[in-house]
Amino acid sequence: MQDIVRVDLAERGYDIVIGPGVIAQAGARISALAGRRPVVVVTDDTVAPLHLPALEASLEGAGVRRNGPAIVLPAGEKTKSFAHLEALLDDLLGRGIERSTLLVALGGGVIGDLAGFAAAVALRGLDFVQVPTTLLAQVDSSVGGKTGINTRQGKNLVGSFHQPRLVLADTGVLATLSRRHMLAGYAEVVKYGLIDDAGFFAWLEEHGAAVCAGEPEALVRAVTVSCAAKAAIVGQDERESGRRALLNLGHTFGHALEAAVGYDDRLLHGEGVALGMGLAFDLSARLGLCGAEDPGRVRRHLDAIGLPTRLGQVAGVTWDTQELLGHMAKDKKVQDGRITFVLARGIGQAFTARDIDGREVAAVLDRAR
């Protein structure tokens, strides 16, 4: 039960292999890609004891040449920093890597983003493979080539577009995720239905609980549909000059919420996206762009699954509307000083908008508290 989705970028295109047991096959697939080139695995200290042995056994079984042991970084969003990027690059250069070296990123979005950025800048560009181990990474961050780190000014403000050569999404490893992290990833799955696939959103309303429970067929379908949706958008707009901006539904609000809590575990990225999607639909309804029933439908589904739908559900945080607006003003999608929002004319009818009155945004944030 495996699917393959192609990201069509001409000579830089690549496959996303999806299904249980993919890591067991990783050695053969990476060997076919790497040949005799040396490989360096980058992972974190949460993922390493769970999935590194299986990956290393697969690489060894396929005769993949390694350049030293795996590099194991601290887990968590704060690892996406200049300090850890520098440490990773020092380690790689200290091993005497060459431009033929292939990096393999084994982990969630943090490891994928950081290792991908390191691959983009080390020796002016190394090939790399994504082996995402969280639902969020499998359906979103491992696909499309956006890599980077966070700064104190905001999230993902330093980075590069650098496409992987292969993505290996083993849905079987998601059984090791906590319920909270599984739900956080599910928020990104919902996003694809809300952008332009009302039928997929309706399917999730019926089968989302099975997806989050790890039911194999439902999980593979959800990951495959999500990856196909993102691959189609990336194929049309690789560097986010137009349609790709739709993938930021919920993220303008969500990134501001994450910044306000200092990127700590009071609010996971997917939880911020869930809250942000509700706020985006609230703003759309307030502006008369979508029906008044649409925000309620979105929140009912997210709430039924167990994701936060109100800012007050985030423990230990006092939200300040002006602070949140300030974080939005530093978002990477700001153009000519105007914040770019992804709004909706209904379920599955997202579009980008600027020139939104800040007072309207403030009113939505005030009500959400």
Active site residue 251: yes
How high is the pLDDT of residue 332? Answer: 72
Catalytic residue (one of 51, 80, 146, 165):
146
Q: What are φ and ψ of residue 251, in 5° steps?
A: -85, -30
How high is the pLDDT of residue 141? Answer: 95
How far is it, in rounded angstroms, from Cα 319 to Cα 136?
25
Rounded percentage of the chain residues whose pLDDT exceeds 90: 90
Residue length, the chain?
369
Structure tokens at 10: 């001409």
Q: Quick one: DSSP state of residue 65?
A: -
Active site residue 248: yes
Q: Residue type at 152? A: R
How high is the pLDDT of residue 173? Answer: 98
How high is the pLDDT of residue 153? Answer: 83
How high is the pLDDT of residue 216? Answer: 97
How far is it, in rounded angstroms, from Cα 17 to Cα 36?
22
Active site residue 354: no
Catalytic residue (one of 56, 240, 258, 271):
240
Q: In the chain, which residue ranges form alpha helices assigned H by DSSP? A: 26-34, 48-61, 82-94, 109-121, 135-136, 179-196, 198-212, 216-236, 251-260, 269-286, 293-305, 321-328, 358-368
Domains of the chain: 3-176 (3.40.50.1970), 179-368 (1.20.1090.10)
Catalytic residue (one of 51, 80, 155, 269):
269
Catalytic residue (one of 37, 51, 181, 230):
230
* SS3 sequence of 299-333: HHHHHHHCCCCCHHHCCCCCCCHHHHHHHHCCCCC
Active site residue 124: yes
How high is the pLDDT of residue 320? Answer: 95
In this structure, are residues 212 and 186 in contact, taking their beta carbons and an 8 Å threshold? yes
Catalytic residue (one of 156, 248, 271, 327):
248
Active site residue 243: no
Q: Residue type at 333? A: K
Q: 105-123: buried (b, 16+ CB within 10 Å) or exposed (e) per residue?
A: bbbbbbbbbbbbbbbbebe
Q: Which residues of the chain have pLDDT under 70?
A: none
Active site residue 332: no
First to last CA, the chain: 44
Structure tokens at 301: 């589904």
Active site residue 206: no
Catalytic residue (one of 56, 188, 258, 271):
188
Active site residue 98: no
- 67 contacts: CB under 8 Å, gap ≥ 6: 38, 39, 40, 95, 96, 97, 101
Q: How does DSSP assign 7-34, residue by residue?
A: E--GGG-EEEEEETTTGGGHHHHHHHHH
In this structure, are residues 41 and 106 in contact, taking their beta carbons and an 8 Å threshold? yes
How far is it, in rounded angstroms, from Cα 22 to Cα 168?
6
Active site residue 327: no
Catalytic residue (one of 165, 255, 299, 333):
255
Active site residue 191: no
Catalytic residue (one of 244, 299, 327, 333):
244
How far is it, in rounded angstroms, from Cα 219 to Cα 290?
30
